[in-house]
Chain A
Protein backbone atom coordinates (compact mmCIF):
# COMPACT_ATOMS: atom_id res chain seq x y z
CA UNK A 1 0.00 0.00 0.00
CA UNK A 2 1.17 3.49 -0.85
CA UNK A 3 -0.51 6.85 -1.23
CA UNK A 4 -0.21 9.14 -4.21
CA UNK A 5 -1.43 12.68 -4.74
CA UNK A 6 -1.32 15.22 -7.53
CA UNK A 7 -2.54 18.80 -7.81
CA UNK A 8 -2.65 20.68 -11.11
CA UNK A 9 -3.71 24.33 -11.03
CA UNK A 10 -5.73 25.69 -13.92
CA UNK A 11 -6.19 29.11 -12.34
CA UNK A 12 -2.84 31.00 -12.13
CA UNK A 13 -4.19 33.04 -9.21
CA UNK A 14 -3.87 29.93 -7.02
CA UNK A 15 -0.16 29.31 -7.74
CA UNK A 16 1.08 31.07 -4.61
CA UNK A 17 -0.92 28.59 -2.54
CA UNK A 18 0.01 25.38 -4.38
CA UNK A 19 2.24 24.19 -1.56
CA UNK A 20 -0.19 24.84 1.26
CA UNK A 21 -3.00 22.92 -0.48
CA UNK A 22 -0.61 20.18 -1.51
CA UNK A 23 0.81 19.77 2.00
CA UNK A 24 -2.71 19.00 3.24
CA UNK A 25 -3.18 16.47 0.45
CA UNK A 26 0.13 14.72 1.21
CA UNK A 27 -0.62 14.57 4.94
CA UNK A 28 -4.00 12.98 4.11
CA UNK A 29 -2.19 9.97 2.62
CA UNK A 30 0.26 9.62 5.54
CA UNK A 31 -1.41 6.46 6.88
CA UNK A 32 -1.06 4.74 3.51
CA UNK A 33 2.71 5.20 3.44
CA UNK A 34 4.60 5.70 6.71
CA UNK A 35 8.10 4.69 5.46
CA UNK A 36 9.03 7.67 3.32
CA UNK A 37 7.48 10.47 1.34
CA UNK A 38 8.42 12.59 -1.62
CA UNK A 39 7.22 15.53 -3.65
CA UNK A 40 7.92 17.03 -7.05
CA UNK A 41 6.88 20.66 -7.45
CA UNK A 42 6.86 22.49 -10.78
CA UNK A 43 7.71 26.18 -10.39
CA UNK A 44 8.96 29.16 -12.34
CA UNK A 45 12.70 29.44 -11.67
CA UNK A 46 13.80 32.94 -10.58
CA UNK A 47 15.76 35.01 -13.14
CA UNK A 48 14.44 32.79 -15.93
CA UNK A 49 17.38 30.43 -15.44
CA UNK A 50 17.28 27.45 -17.82
CA UNK A 51 18.56 24.81 -15.44
CA UNK A 52 17.54 23.67 -12.01
CA UNK A 53 18.89 20.55 -10.32
CA UNK A 54 17.88 19.08 -6.97
CA UNK A 55 20.71 17.36 -5.10
CA UNK A 56 20.78 15.19 -2.00
CA UNK A 57 23.65 14.54 0.38
CA UNK A 58 23.33 12.47 3.59
CA UNK A 59 25.65 14.80 5.53
CA UNK A 60 23.60 17.52 7.22
CA UNK A 61 26.58 19.89 7.19
CA UNK A 62 27.42 19.38 3.53
CA UNK A 63 29.02 22.61 2.15
CA UNK A 64 26.44 23.41 -0.52
CA UNK A 65 27.60 27.03 -0.79
CA UNK A 66 31.12 25.85 -1.66
CA UNK A 67 29.74 23.53 -4.35
CA UNK A 68 27.73 26.39 -5.83
CA UNK A 69 30.74 28.72 -5.71
CA UNK A 70 32.96 26.13 -7.42
CA UNK A 71 30.34 25.48 -10.10
CA UNK A 72 29.89 29.21 -10.64
CA UNK A 73 33.63 29.68 -11.15
CA UNK A 74 33.93 26.70 -13.46
CA UNK A 75 30.99 27.71 -15.65
CA UNK A 76 31.67 31.46 -15.32
CA UNK A 77 28.03 32.08 -14.58
CA UNK A 78 25.80 32.96 -11.64
CA UNK A 79 24.56 29.95 -9.62
CA UNK A 80 21.68 30.25 -7.14
CA UNK A 81 21.61 27.81 -4.27
CA UNK A 82 18.64 27.07 -2.01
CA UNK A 83 19.27 24.60 0.82
CA UNK A 84 16.35 22.67 2.37
CA UNK A 85 17.22 19.90 4.81
CA UNK A 86 19.56 17.41 3.12
CA UNK A 87 18.54 18.70 -0.31
CA UNK A 88 19.74 21.70 -2.28
CA UNK A 89 18.45 23.36 -5.41
CA UNK A 90 21.12 24.71 -7.77
CA UNK A 91 19.92 27.05 -10.50
CA UNK A 92 21.96 28.45 -13.38
CA UNK A 93 21.45 29.81 -16.87
CA UNK A 94 23.06 26.79 -18.51
CA UNK A 95 22.10 23.50 -20.15
CA UNK A 96 21.06 20.87 -17.63
CA UNK A 97 23.61 18.42 -19.02
CA UNK A 98 26.42 20.99 -18.68
CA UNK A 99 25.61 21.50 -15.02
CA UNK A 100 25.06 17.83 -14.13
CA UNK A 101 28.29 16.76 -15.86
CA UNK A 102 30.28 19.07 -13.55
CA UNK A 103 28.70 17.58 -10.41
CA UNK A 104 29.78 13.97 -10.84
CA UNK A 105 33.13 14.36 -9.09
CA UNK A 106 32.07 16.61 -6.22
CA UNK A 107 31.33 13.88 -3.67
CA UNK A 108 30.68 10.13 -3.99
CA UNK A 109 27.58 10.49 -1.79
CA UNK A 110 26.09 13.38 -3.77
CA UNK A 111 22.96 12.23 -5.57
CA UNK A 112 21.00 13.92 -8.32
CA UNK A 113 17.35 13.80 -7.22
CA UNK A 114 15.74 15.96 -9.89
CA UNK A 115 16.68 17.99 -12.92
CA UNK A 116 15.10 20.10 -15.58
CA UNK A 117 13.92 23.66 -16.06
CA UNK A 118 11.25 23.88 -13.39
CA UNK A 119 11.07 20.77 -11.19
CA UNK A 120 12.11 20.71 -7.53
CA UNK A 121 12.16 17.29 -5.86
CA UNK A 122 12.35 16.40 -2.18
CA UNK A 123 12.15 12.81 -0.98
CA UNK A 124 13.23 11.35 2.29
CA UNK A 125 12.55 8.78 4.95
CA UNK A 126 9.86 9.76 7.47
CA UNK A 127 6.17 10.51 7.64
CA UNK A 128 4.34 12.73 5.17
CA UNK A 129 3.88 15.44 7.79
CA UNK A 130 7.58 15.39 8.74
CA UNK A 131 8.67 15.61 5.10
CA UNK A 132 6.27 18.48 4.38
CA UNK A 133 7.59 20.42 7.38
CA UNK A 134 11.27 19.54 6.79
CA UNK A 135 11.22 20.91 3.25
CA UNK A 136 8.80 23.82 3.77
CA UNK A 137 6.19 22.46 1.36
CA UNK A 138 3.41 24.76 2.60
CA UNK A 139 5.34 27.83 1.44
CA UNK A 140 6.07 26.60 -2.08
CA UNK A 141 4.42 28.24 -5.08
CA UNK A 142 4.05 26.53 -8.43
CA UNK A 143 1.84 25.26 -11.23
CA UNK A 144 1.49 21.59 -10.30
CA UNK A 145 2.84 19.05 -7.86
CA UNK A 146 2.97 15.28 -7.48
CA UNK A 147 3.59 13.42 -4.24
CA UNK A 148 3.92 9.97 -2.76
CA UNK A 149 3.79 8.30 0.64
CA UNK A 150 5.53 4.94 0.58
CA UNK A 151 4.92 1.59 2.22
CA UNK A 152 7.75 -0.39 0.67
CA UNK A 153 7.07 -3.84 -0.77
CA UNK A 154 9.46 -4.25 -3.72
CA UNK A 155 12.76 -2.77 -2.58
CA UNK A 156 14.62 -1.03 0.25
CA UNK A 157 13.43 1.86 2.41
CA UNK A 158 16.00 4.51 1.48
CA UNK A 159 15.77 8.02 0.13
CA UNK A 160 16.98 6.68 -3.23
CA UNK A 161 14.06 4.25 -3.37
CA UNK A 162 11.50 6.88 -2.39
CA UNK A 163 9.23 8.31 -5.06
CA UNK A 164 8.90 10.44 -7.17
CA UNK A 165 11.32 9.07 -9.73
CA UNK A 166 12.74 11.62 -12.15
CA UNK A 167 13.62 9.96 -15.43
CA UNK A 168 14.38 12.91 -17.69
CA UNK A 169 14.27 16.71 -17.59
CA UNK A 170 11.10 17.64 -15.67
CA UNK A 171 9.63 14.13 -16.11
CA UNK A 172 8.48 12.48 -12.91
CA UNK A 173 6.38 9.52 -11.85
CA UNK A 174 4.75 8.23 -8.66
CA UNK A 175 3.25 4.75 -8.38
CA UNK A 176 0.94 2.76 -6.14
CA UNK A 177 1.25 -0.91 -6.94
CA UNK A 178 3.92 -3.31 -8.10
CA UNK A 179 5.23 -4.33 -11.50
CA UNK A 180 5.98 -7.94 -12.32
CA UNK A 181 8.03 -7.54 -15.52
CA UNK A 182 10.35 -4.75 -14.41
CA UNK A 183 13.55 -6.81 -14.61
CA UNK A 184 13.01 -7.75 -18.24
CA UNK A 185 11.88 -4.21 -19.11
CA UNK A 186 14.92 -2.75 -17.32
CA UNK A 187 17.16 -4.78 -19.63
CA UNK A 188 15.14 -3.74 -22.69
CA UNK A 189 15.49 -0.07 -21.75
CA UNK A 190 19.17 -0.43 -20.82
CA UNK A 191 19.88 -1.78 -24.30
CA UNK A 192 18.28 1.40 -25.62
CA UNK A 193 20.56 3.64 -23.61
CA UNK A 194 18.49 4.32 -20.48
CA UNK A 195 20.53 4.31 -17.27
CA UNK A 196 19.21 3.14 -13.88
CA UNK A 197 20.08 4.16 -10.34
CA UNK A 198 18.11 1.63 -8.28
CA UNK A 199 16.53 -1.84 -8.46
CA UNK A 200 13.10 -0.30 -7.91
CA UNK A 201 10.19 -1.30 -10.16
CA UNK A 202 8.75 2.23 -10.36
CA UNK A 203 12.05 3.59 -11.66
CA UNK A 204 11.65 1.21 -14.60
CA UNK A 205 8.20 2.62 -15.38
CA UNK A 206 9.54 6.18 -15.09
CA UNK A 207 12.43 5.43 -17.48
CA UNK A 208 9.99 3.67 -19.80
CA UNK A 209 7.74 6.74 -20.05
CA UNK A 210 10.81 8.98 -20.45
CA UNK A 211 12.01 6.72 -23.28
CA UNK A 212 8.65 6.97 -25.06
CA UNK A 213 8.69 10.76 -24.64
CA UNK A 214 12.23 10.89 -26.07
CA UNK A 215 10.97 8.86 -29.03
CA UNK A 216 8.43 11.61 -29.76
CA UNK A 217 5.30 10.49 -27.95
CA UNK A 218 3.31 13.03 -25.96
CA UNK A 219 2.53 12.19 -22.33
CA UNK A 220 -0.82 10.59 -23.12
CA UNK A 221 0.63 8.41 -25.90
CA UNK A 222 3.60 7.44 -23.73
CA UNK A 223 1.31 6.23 -20.97
CA UNK A 224 -1.00 4.44 -23.37
CA UNK A 225 2.03 2.54 -24.69
CA UNK A 226 2.70 1.52 -21.09
CA UNK A 227 -0.61 -0.35 -21.00
CA UNK A 228 0.92 -2.77 -23.48
CA UNK A 229 4.42 -3.03 -22.05
CA UNK A 230 4.01 -2.77 -18.27
CA UNK A 231 2.69 -5.84 -16.47
CA UNK A 232 1.46 -5.53 -12.90
CA UNK A 233 -0.66 -3.43 -10.63
CA UNK A 234 -0.48 0.32 -10.93
CA UNK A 235 -2.08 3.61 -10.35
CA UNK A 236 0.35 6.16 -11.82
CA UNK A 237 0.49 9.93 -11.59
CA UNK A 238 3.00 11.50 -13.96
CA UNK A 239 4.22 15.04 -14.44
CA UNK A 240 6.04 16.95 -17.15
CA UNK A 241 6.88 20.66 -17.27
CA UNK A 242 3.45 21.44 -18.70
CA UNK A 243 1.50 18.22 -18.21
CA UNK A 244 -0.13 16.01 -15.62
CA UNK A 245 -1.58 12.52 -16.22
CA UNK A 246 -3.17 9.64 -14.33
CA UNK A 247 -3.44 5.98 -15.40
CA UNK A 248 -4.68 2.77 -13.75
CA UNK A 249 -4.14 -0.83 -14.86
CA UNK A 250 -6.98 -2.96 -16.16
CA UNK A 251 -7.60 -4.72 -12.86
CA UNK A 252 -7.72 -1.40 -10.97
CA UNK A 253 -7.35 -2.77 -7.48
CA UNK A 254 -5.14 0.18 -6.53
CA UNK A 255 -7.43 3.07 -5.63
CA UNK A 256 -7.69 6.50 -7.23
CA UNK A 257 -10.04 9.45 -7.07
CA UNK A 258 -10.05 12.45 -9.38
CA UNK A 259 -11.70 15.79 -8.67
CA UNK A 260 -11.92 18.79 -10.96
CA UNK A 261 -13.20 22.35 -10.73
CA UNK A 262 -12.67 25.35 -13.00
CA UNK A 263 -9.62 26.21 -10.87
CA UNK A 264 -7.83 22.89 -10.38
CA UNK A 265 -7.55 19.16 -10.96
CA UNK A 266 -6.63 16.96 -8.03
CA UNK A 267 -5.86 13.25 -7.84
CA UNK A 268 -5.38 11.11 -4.75
CA UNK A 269 -5.47 7.47 -3.70
CA UNK A 270 -8.39 8.34 -1.46
CA UNK A 271 -10.86 11.16 -1.01
CA UNK A 272 -9.37 11.96 2.41
CA UNK A 273 -6.65 13.94 0.62
CA UNK A 274 -9.14 16.00 -1.36
CA UNK A 275 -11.56 16.83 1.43
CA UNK A 276 -10.05 20.20 2.36
CA UNK A 277 -9.39 21.60 -1.12
CA UNK A 278 -11.14 24.93 -1.81
CA UNK A 279 -14.44 24.39 -3.63
CA UNK A 280 -14.31 20.58 -3.35
CA UNK A 281 -18.01 20.46 -2.46
CA UNK A 282 -18.81 21.69 -5.96
CA UNK A 283 -16.10 19.68 -7.73
CA UNK A 284 -16.79 16.91 -10.21
CA UNK A 285 -15.53 13.82 -8.40
CA UNK A 286 -15.02 10.46 -10.09
CA UNK A 287 -13.04 7.26 -10.02
CA UNK A 288 -10.75 6.97 -13.06
CA UNK A 289 -11.72 4.10 -15.35
CA UNK A 290 -9.28 1.22 -15.88
CA UNK A 291 -6.83 1.64 -18.77
CA UNK A 292 -7.87 5.21 -19.57
CA UNK A 293 -5.25 8.00 -19.58
CA UNK A 294 -6.53 11.20 -18.00
CA UNK A 295 -4.27 14.12 -18.88
CA UNK A 296 -4.15 17.89 -18.57
CA UNK A 297 -1.80 20.45 -20.11
CA UNK A 298 -1.05 23.95 -18.86
CA UNK A 299 -2.88 26.46 -21.00
CA UNK A 300 -4.98 23.73 -22.63
CA UNK A 301 -6.91 22.44 -19.65
CA UNK A 302 -10.12 20.67 -20.57
Chain B
Protein backbone atom coordinates (compact mmCIF):
# COMPACT_ATOMS: atom_id res chain seq x y z
CA UNK B 1 0.00 0.00 0.00
CA UNK B 2 1.43 3.36 -1.09
CA UNK B 3 0.14 6.38 0.79
CA UNK B 4 0.11 9.89 -0.69
CA UNK B 5 -0.99 12.99 1.21
CA UNK B 6 -2.42 15.77 -0.93
CA UNK B 7 -1.16 18.19 1.71
CA UNK B 8 2.36 17.30 0.52
CA UNK B 9 1.82 16.27 -3.11
CA UNK B 10 -0.01 18.08 -5.92
CA UNK B 11 -2.95 16.43 -7.67
CA UNK B 12 -0.95 16.43 -10.92
CA UNK B 13 1.93 14.56 -9.28
CA UNK B 14 -0.49 12.14 -7.61
CA UNK B 15 -2.29 11.33 -10.86
CA UNK B 16 1.02 10.82 -12.67
CA UNK B 17 2.04 8.33 -9.97
CA UNK B 18 -1.30 6.52 -10.17
CA UNK B 19 -0.95 6.21 -13.94
CA UNK B 20 2.74 5.40 -13.91
CA UNK B 21 2.45 2.08 -12.11
CA UNK B 22 -0.37 0.63 -14.12
CA UNK B 23 1.56 -1.05 -16.94
CA UNK B 24 3.32 -3.93 -15.13
CA UNK B 25 0.29 -6.17 -14.87
CA UNK B 26 0.07 -6.00 -11.08
CA UNK B 27 -2.71 -4.28 -9.16
CA UNK B 28 -1.00 -1.91 -6.81
CA UNK B 29 -2.98 -0.35 -3.99
CA UNK B 30 -2.87 3.32 -3.15
CA UNK B 31 -4.23 5.36 -0.29
CA UNK B 32 -4.76 9.10 -0.73
CA UNK B 33 -5.18 11.32 2.33
CA UNK B 34 -6.08 15.00 2.86
CA UNK B 35 -7.97 15.57 -0.42
CA UNK B 36 -9.74 18.60 1.14
CA UNK B 37 -12.10 19.00 -1.79
CA UNK B 38 -9.38 19.01 -4.48
CA UNK B 39 -10.52 18.67 -8.09
CA UNK B 40 -9.66 15.86 -10.53
CA UNK B 41 -8.30 13.47 -7.89
CA UNK B 42 -7.51 10.10 -9.52
CA UNK B 43 -8.75 11.34 -12.89
CA UNK B 44 -7.61 9.74 -16.13
CA UNK B 45 -6.33 6.46 -14.65
CA UNK B 46 -5.72 3.72 -17.22
CA UNK B 47 -4.63 0.64 -15.26
CA UNK B 48 -6.08 -1.84 -12.74
CA UNK B 49 -4.93 0.01 -9.64
CA UNK B 50 -6.90 0.20 -6.41
CA UNK B 51 -7.20 3.68 -4.95
CA UNK B 52 -8.71 4.52 -1.57
CA UNK B 53 -9.31 8.24 -0.95
CA UNK B 54 -9.85 9.27 2.68
CA UNK B 55 -11.98 12.43 2.76
CA UNK B 56 -14.13 14.66 0.56
CA UNK B 57 -13.12 15.38 -3.03
CA UNK B 58 -14.06 18.19 -5.43
CA UNK B 59 -15.01 18.12 -9.11
CA UNK B 60 -14.40 15.33 -11.63
CA UNK B 61 -12.91 12.75 -9.26
CA UNK B 62 -12.19 9.49 -11.12
CA UNK B 63 -13.10 11.12 -14.43
CA UNK B 64 -12.40 9.11 -17.60
CA UNK B 65 -11.52 6.09 -15.47
CA UNK B 66 -10.33 2.92 -17.18
CA UNK B 67 -9.88 -0.33 -15.20
CA UNK B 68 -9.10 1.27 -11.82
CA UNK B 69 -11.09 0.55 -8.65
CA UNK B 70 -11.48 3.85 -6.82
CA UNK B 71 -13.21 4.31 -3.46
CA UNK B 72 -13.94 7.71 -1.91
CA UNK B 73 -14.53 7.54 1.82
CA UNK B 74 -16.37 10.88 1.82
CA UNK B 75 -18.54 13.12 -0.36
CA UNK B 76 -17.67 14.30 -3.84
CA UNK B 77 -18.38 17.38 -5.94
CA UNK B 78 -19.65 17.81 -9.49
CA UNK B 79 -19.11 15.15 -12.14
CA UNK B 80 -17.63 12.20 -10.27
CA UNK B 81 -16.60 9.43 -12.71
CA UNK B 82 -17.67 11.57 -15.67
CA UNK B 83 -16.98 9.84 -18.95
CA UNK B 84 -15.83 6.67 -17.17
CA UNK B 85 -14.94 3.84 -19.57
CA UNK B 86 -14.49 0.85 -17.23
CA UNK B 87 -13.55 -0.09 -13.68
CA UNK B 88 -15.51 0.63 -10.51
CA UNK B 89 -15.88 3.85 -8.55
CA UNK B 90 -17.50 3.74 -5.12
CA UNK B 91 -18.55 6.83 -3.13
CA UNK B 92 -19.28 6.10 0.51
CA UNK B 93 -20.92 9.51 1.05
CA UNK B 94 -23.01 11.73 -1.23
CA UNK B 95 -22.28 12.89 -4.77
CA UNK B 96 -23.07 16.33 -6.19
CA UNK B 97 -24.57 17.04 -9.60
CA UNK B 98 -23.85 15.18 -12.86
CA UNK B 99 -22.44 12.02 -11.26
CA UNK B 100 -21.40 9.54 -13.92
CA UNK B 101 -22.14 12.03 -16.70
CA UNK B 102 -21.53 10.61 -20.19
CA UNK B 103 -20.06 7.39 -18.75
CA UNK B 104 -19.38 4.68 -21.35
CA UNK B 105 -18.81 1.70 -19.08
CA UNK B 106 -17.84 0.33 -15.68
CA UNK B 107 -19.84 0.82 -12.50
CA UNK B 108 -20.38 3.88 -10.29
CA UNK B 109 -21.76 3.15 -6.81
CA UNK B 110 -22.95 6.04 -4.66
CA UNK B 111 -23.84 4.73 -1.22
CA UNK B 112 -25.46 8.02 -0.14
CA UNK B 113 -27.50 10.45 -2.22
CA UNK B 114 -26.76 11.86 -5.65
CA UNK B 115 -27.54 15.45 -6.69
CA UNK B 116 -29.27 16.69 -9.84
CA UNK B 117 -28.59 15.27 -13.31
CA UNK B 118 -27.12 11.97 -12.09
CA UNK B 119 -26.32 9.85 -15.16
CA UNK B 120 -26.89 12.69 -17.61
CA UNK B 121 -26.16 11.48 -21.15
CA UNK B 122 -24.86 8.12 -19.86
CA UNK B 123 -23.65 5.87 -22.65
CA UNK B 124 -23.28 2.41 -21.13
CA UNK B 125 -22.16 2.96 -17.54
CA UNK B 126 -24.06 1.26 -14.70
CA UNK B 127 -24.87 3.58 -11.79
CA UNK B 128 -26.28 2.38 -8.46
CA UNK B 129 -27.38 5.01 -5.93
CA UNK B 130 -28.16 3.82 -2.41
CA UNK B 131 -30.20 6.92 -1.52
CA UNK B 132 -32.10 9.46 -3.57
CA UNK B 133 -31.24 11.43 -6.70
CA UNK B 134 -31.90 15.07 -7.63
CA UNK B 135 -33.91 16.45 -10.50
CA UNK B 136 -33.36 15.50 -14.16
CA UNK B 137 -31.44 12.33 -13.39
CA UNK B 138 -31.01 10.13 -16.44
CA UNK B 139 -31.44 13.16 -18.73
CA UNK B 140 -30.85 12.03 -22.35
CA UNK B 141 -29.44 8.75 -21.03
CA UNK B 142 -28.49 6.64 -24.04
CA UNK B 143 -27.38 3.27 -22.70
CA UNK B 144 -26.60 1.50 -19.43
CA UNK B 145 -28.52 1.16 -16.17
CA UNK B 146 -29.35 3.70 -13.47
CA UNK B 147 -30.54 2.12 -10.20
CA UNK B 148 -32.00 4.49 -7.58
CA UNK B 149 -32.77 2.69 -4.32
CA UNK B 150 -34.47 5.76 -2.80
CA UNK B 151 -36.61 8.46 -4.37
CA UNK B 152 -35.93 10.18 -7.69
CA UNK B 153 -36.37 13.95 -8.09
CA UNK B 154 -38.42 15.79 -10.70
CA UNK B 155 -38.23 15.06 -14.43
CA UNK B 156 -36.63 11.65 -14.16
CA UNK B 157 -35.33 10.33 -17.46
CA UNK B 158 -36.18 13.41 -19.51
CA UNK B 159 -35.61 12.72 -23.24
CA UNK B 160 -34.18 9.30 -22.39
CA UNK B 161 -32.96 6.99 -25.17
CA UNK B 162 -32.22 3.30 -24.46
CA UNK B 163 -30.87 3.41 -20.89
CA UNK B 164 -32.92 1.62 -18.21
CA UNK B 165 -33.84 3.23 -14.90
CA UNK B 166 -34.90 1.28 -11.80
CA UNK B 167 -36.39 3.19 -8.87
CA UNK B 168 -36.96 1.63 -5.43
CA UNK B 169 -38.74 4.66 -3.93
CA UNK B 170 -40.98 7.10 -5.72
CA UNK B 171 -40.30 9.34 -8.71
CA UNK B 172 -41.41 12.95 -8.08
CA UNK B 173 -42.23 13.30 -11.78
CA UNK B 174 -41.16 11.81 -15.10
CA UNK B 175 -39.50 13.90 -17.81
CA UNK B 176 -40.57 14.12 -21.43
CA UNK B 177 -40.88 10.73 -23.14
CA UNK B 178 -40.00 8.74 -19.98
CA UNK B 179 -42.55 6.08 -19.04
CA UNK B 180 -42.92 3.23 -16.60
CA UNK B 181 -42.39 -0.18 -18.15
CA UNK B 182 -43.13 -3.74 -17.09
CA UNK B 183 -40.72 -5.34 -14.61
CA UNK B 184 -40.19 -8.67 -16.37
CA UNK B 185 -38.25 -11.62 -14.87
CA UNK B 186 -35.37 -10.64 -17.17
CA UNK B 187 -35.27 -7.15 -15.68
CA UNK B 188 -35.54 -8.48 -12.10
CA UNK B 189 -32.57 -10.68 -12.84
CA UNK B 190 -30.57 -7.77 -14.29
CA UNK B 191 -31.47 -5.56 -11.32
CA UNK B 192 -30.39 -8.28 -8.89
CA UNK B 193 -27.08 -8.57 -10.71
CA UNK B 194 -26.51 -4.79 -10.57
CA UNK B 195 -27.32 -4.63 -6.85
CA UNK B 196 -25.11 -7.63 -6.10
CA UNK B 197 -22.19 -6.10 -7.95
CA UNK B 198 -22.78 -2.85 -6.05
CA UNK B 199 -22.82 -4.78 -2.76
CA UNK B 200 -26.33 -3.63 -1.87
CA UNK B 201 -29.16 -5.72 -0.48
CA UNK B 202 -32.57 -4.48 -1.51
CA UNK B 203 -36.12 -5.83 -1.72
CA UNK B 204 -36.60 -6.24 -5.47
CA UNK B 205 -40.38 -6.02 -5.12
CA UNK B 206 -40.06 -2.30 -4.34
CA UNK B 207 -38.49 -1.47 -7.68
CA UNK B 208 -40.17 -0.15 -10.79
CA UNK B 209 -38.63 0.17 -14.23
CA UNK B 210 -38.63 3.29 -16.41
CA UNK B 211 -37.46 3.85 -19.96
CA UNK B 212 -38.12 5.62 -23.22
CA UNK B 213 -41.54 5.72 -24.88
CA UNK B 214 -39.55 6.39 -28.07
CA UNK B 215 -41.99 9.09 -29.11
CA UNK B 216 -39.27 11.71 -29.63
CA UNK B 217 -36.94 9.65 -31.81
CA UNK B 218 -38.48 11.05 -34.96
CA UNK B 219 -40.06 14.45 -35.31
CA UNK B 220 -43.82 14.41 -35.02
CA UNK B 221 -45.75 17.64 -34.95
CA UNK B 222 -48.09 16.30 -32.23
CA UNK B 223 -45.09 16.10 -29.87
CA UNK B 224 -43.67 19.54 -30.71
CA UNK B 225 -44.10 20.73 -27.11
CA UNK B 226 -41.89 17.93 -25.78
CA UNK B 227 -38.78 18.53 -27.87
Contact = CB atoms under 8 A, between A and B. Distances in A.
Contacts of B197: none
B33 to A, nearest CB: 12
B11 to A, nearest CB: 12
A286 B77 CA distance: 11
Nearest to A28: B37
A287 B135 CA distance: 13
Contacts of A270: 37, 58-59, 77
A275 B97 contact: no
B94 interface: yes
Contacts of B37: 28, 270-275
B218 to A, nearest CB: 29
Majority secondary structure, A binding face: loop
A177 interface: no
B116 A275 contact: no
Nearest to B35: A275
Interface in B91-146: 94, 96-97, 115-116, 134-135
B78 interface: yes
A301 interface: no
Majority secondary structure, B binding face: loop
B75 A271 contact: yes
A275 B36 contact: yes
Nearest to A269: B77
A109 interface: no
Interface residues of A, number: 17
Given A285-B75, A287-B96, A272 B116 contact: no
A272 B36 contact: yes
B4 interface: no
Interface string B36-66: 1110000000000000000010110000000
A252 B116 contact: yes
B75 A252 contact: no
B134 A252 contact: yes
A286 B94 contact: yes
Given A252-B134, A274-B37, A287 B56 contact: no
A276 interface: yes
Contact of B77 (A28, A271, A290): A271
A14 interface: no
A115 B78 CA distance: 37
B56 A255 contact: no
A275 B36 CA distance: 5
B223 to A, nearest CB: 23
A5 to B, nearest CB: 13
Interface in A8-36: 28
A253 interface: yes
A273 B77 CA distance: 13
Contacts of A290: 116, 134-135
Given A270-B58, A271-B56, A275-B56, A255 B96 contact: yes
Contacts of B96: 255, 287
10 contacts: A28-B37, A251-B116, A252-B116, A255-B97, A270-B58, A285-B56, A286-B94, A287-B94, A287-B96, A290-B135
Given A253-B116, A272-B37, 16 more contacts: A28-B37, A250-B135, A251-B116, A252-B97, A252-B135, A255-B78, A270-B58, A271-B36, A271-B75, A272-B38, A272-B58, A273-B37, A274-B37, A275-B37, A285-B56, A285-B75
Closest 7 A/B residue pairs (Cβ): A271-B37, A275-B36, A272-B37, A271-B56, A275-B37, A287-B115, A252-B116
Interface of A: 28, 250-253, 255, 270-276, 285-287, 290
